[in-house]
Amino acid sequence: MDNLIKASYFLTVVLFVMGLKRMSSPATARSGIIWAGVAMGIAVVTTMFWPGLNNIGLMLVAIFSGVAIAVYSGRKVAMTDMPQMVAIYNGMGGGSAAGIAVIELIKGDVHSSGLIALSVVGGLIGSIAFSGSMIAFAKLQGLIKGRPITFGGQKVLNLIILVLAVVTGISLVTGGPGYAGTLTFFGLALTFGILMTLPIGGADMPVVISLFNALTGMAVGFEGFALGNEAMIVAGTVVGAAGTLLTQMMAKAMNRSIANVLFGSFGKEVEEAGASGIQGALKPIESEDAAIMMGYAAKVIIVPGYGMAVAQAQHKLRELADLLQEKNVIVKYAIHPVAGRMPGHMNVLLAEAGVPYESLYDLEEINAEFTSADVAVVIGANDVVNPRARTEKSSPIYGMPILNVDQAKNVIVIKRGQGTGFAGIENELFYRDQTRMLYGDAQAVLGELIQQVKQI
């Protein structure tokens, strides 16, 4: 039986790695997810035959309950709410790893100091990922305000709680785990996760979600080592490594260090930045004039943002692009790495609408083409097209790579109103001479543009 379990775990590992590899391409991503799901299914079934396993009935109840909730939520949750869903799933993974550590330490199933240390480290990381992810979910869902929640002496308090958690964890390793010490340790770790996430602004949530994803993977990996479970080790390591790389890429795309994201109180800087130094006025345009401008253009570059996602306007956008292409207009989509509220958000939305992947271009590929674009259409994007990131050293987004929309001959901005974007920074692009503002809900505005383009 032991050899069969190990062989099944080996198959699980192979499927995990192959599934992850297939996820690297849009053409094979769907099958990659299925392969990884099959791997997880094999791992769960195999674990049921683990020697000395108890409470199988309760585990089956938990598994089927979780599957039912996941299937329902996966079908019902809107694409715009996927960041919140991902945050919860990340948190649940970290919470599960922490829960395993709690049980193992209280029951005393891990005996050597090395295994206890692995359980403690995994429990610390998993607890932080769990409570921090819950705060990230609450911010994205609007249950608590997205701006940083700060107070005097907050960083000092956070440091004290972290040090106490580490010291308590060390005492569990050196003095042996006990009931009171274990609960104190996890209470401090959970508290630190909450306090660490509260001062992080909503604009940084994509990076934070990715970071907690990495922490969850690391926690699962550590607990896998403590339990001697090969499937947990590989799955956790793969998730931890992928999450770490993605976090670094996201931070680079914002030209900020991970430390600045975690401890910089970005939203507080934004509130102090205001709209100082911006000259000019917002210039509205009617849908008829905007349609004529696009219909007679040689090249149109579309820049989607979270506003498009909120309006669920991706299908209308695809229809408009198809009409323009029928009139021999070259249409390309410019995708910023941090557009939306999670990595790949815009790509998934546009793929859902049937936009060919070949029409999507990332920042490095498309930026040189804006100078030859007759029209750049910005739909619900803000901070990723703000020229102040290049020129205004006092701006909180200074140095962040942006899409060069301001270099297009004409710019049409589809926007609900005159408010600032998710980060709360006034956009200099909107006041430029070649920019016109087309106000309204993105789906309704695109519907009007479609009708106007058909009449050209």
Which residues are marked as active site? 383
**Please, which residues have CB within 8 angstroms of residue 23's CB and are 6 or more apart in sequence?**
29, 32, 33, 36
Distant-in-sequence, close-in-space partners of 136: CB < 8 Å, separation ≥ 6 = 87, 91, 197, 205, 208, 209, 212
From residue 211, how far is each of 9, 114, 146 by CA, in Å? 27, 26, 18
Categorise residue 310: left if φ over 0, alpha if ψ from -120 to 50, beta otherwise: alpha
SS3 content of the chain, % helix, strand, coil (to 5): 65, 5, 25
* Dihedral angle, C-alpha 377, 381, 385, 389, nearest 10 °: 170
CB atoms inside a 10 Å sphere around CB 47: 18
CB-CB contact of 197 with 154 (8 Å): no
The two three-digit tokens of residue 311, written as one number:
């309006």
d(CA 175, CA 170): 8
The backbone torsions φ and ψ at residue 228, rounded to the nearest 5 degrees and listed phi first, read 70, 30
CA gap 333, 443 in Å, rounded: 17
